[in-house]
Amino acid sequence: MPNAVVEPLKPAEAGCEPLSYGSYLEVPGLLTLQRPRTSAHDEMLFIVTHQAIELWFRCVLHELEDVREALTDERFGQARRGLRRVMRIVALVLDHVDVLTTMTPAGFNEFRDVLGESSGFQSVQFRELEMLSGMRDRRYLNLPGATAAERERLQLRFQDPSLHDVFTRALERRGLTPQQLFAPDLLEDELRDTAEDLLEYDALFHRWRYQHWLLVVRALGTRPGSGGSSGSEFLRSTLDKWFFPELHDARSHVHAAPGEEPATGPQGESVYGCPMGHGSGLTG
């Protein structure tokens, strides 16, 4: 899958100068990429935080591709090691978002106008992450502001199997339903442990959504977003999104007493159903 990843440098391109810290990491070039458009003090923090998170998104995509391959080949140990790394990164990204809470609404207002209609909503890598994890929404294939190459990447992500797909296939190969996976007497420990890690990753990603929502409540209050949405209200609605809703639901069925059929609610749905109100209808 052609992520935004650039091919490794060929020896001729790399040049024959001995490498230094700065030349290997391309630090001089990197430091030309933060270009505030106003003299507002907080704009630098705003740019660096977004860029740092985009770099981590890139790394997460790289890792998740590996996790998907490992799950496809049923190398569950490898998949779990990759997921553990991904979770560390997502936890780190939560802290990046936290730094931005030091920006006051007044500080933000000093440069907000120059953002125009640009918004994190247009982050291509964020949509790639959602798709690779298991959430497909056609509407994001034509993200405003995306280049032709970025649209192509989104299209490929949309078609490619997601983590959700490959894990579901692993269950199907064993003839297991998600509910059976969490049954106390099941011997498929490896598969269940992997499911637990997938759920933990899902929960961490959800914390990102929550933390970002809180940040926006603090920075914007009830004002609309630069991307044209209602702002914090719109973001609150995204808190219903999960990558593995069936696994969350199945896990909560474990609370039924042994031998007891899960109780049903007025419409016949399980009252042990996911307490988190799933049902974006976007997964799969």
228 binds ligand HEM (CB under 6 A): yes
> By CB under 6 A, is residue 236 in contact with ligand HEM?
no
For residue 213, the surrounding DSSP H or E stretch is: helix 189-220
Binding-site member from 162, 168, 226, 252 for ligand HEM (CB under 6 A): 226
120, 161, 262, 279: which one binds ligand HEM (CB under 6 A): 120
Binding residues for ligand HEM, rule CB under 6 A, total 26
CA-to-CA dists, residue 277 to 254, 265, 280, 283, angstroms: 17, 14, 9, 14
β-sheet bridge partners, residue 264 = 270
Distance CA 30, CA 37 (A): 17
Residue 130 exposed, middle or buried by CB count within 10 Å (0-12, 13-18, 19+): buried
**Binding ligand HEM by CB under 6 A: which of 134, 225, 245, 273?**
225
* Piece in contact with ligand HEM (CB under 6 A), picked from 156-164, 166-174, 181-189, 227-235: 227-235
Q: Is 226 helix (H, G, I), strand (E, B) or coil?
A: coil
Residues 66-85 binding ligand HEM (CB under 6 A) are none
3-state SS, residue 147: coil
The residue (of 226 and 252) whose beta carbon lies closer to ligand HEM is: 226
211 binding ligand HEM? (CB under 6 A): no
**Contact pick of 3, 78, 119, 270 for ligand HEM (by CB under 6 A):** 119
Single residue of 36, 161, 227, 262 touching ligand HEM by CB under 6 A: 227
Helix (H), strand (E) at residue 169: helix 163-173
Q: What token pair was written down for 70?
A: 């490992």
CA distance 1 to 23: 28
The 3-state DSSP class for residue 27 equals helix
Contact 56, 62 (CB under 8 A): no
Of 192, 273, 270, 283, which Cα lies nearest the Cα of 244?
Answer: 283
Each residue 237-266 as x (binds ligand HEM by CB under 6 A) or -, in order, gives -x----------------------------
* Nearest distance, CB of residue 71 and ligand HEM, angstroms: 25
User: Residue 114 CA to chain centroid, in angstroms?
Assistant: 27
Angle between the 189-220 and 105-112 helix axes, to the nearest 10 degrees?
80
The answer to whether 126 contacts ligand HEM (rule: CB under 6 A) is: yes
Options 18-26, 27-35, 45-53, 245-253: segment touching ligand HEM (CB under 6 A): 45-53
Residue selected from 199, 234, 262, 270 as contacting ligand HEM according to rule CB under 6 A: 234
> Site for ligand HEM (CB under 6 A): which residue of 131, 191, 195, 219?
219
Should residue 60 be labelled a site residue for ligand HEM when binding is judged by CB under 6 A?
no
Binding region for ligand HEM (CB under 6 A): 49-50, 53, 97, 100, 103, 108, 119-121, 123, 126, 212, 215-216, 219-220, 225-229, 231, 234-235, 238
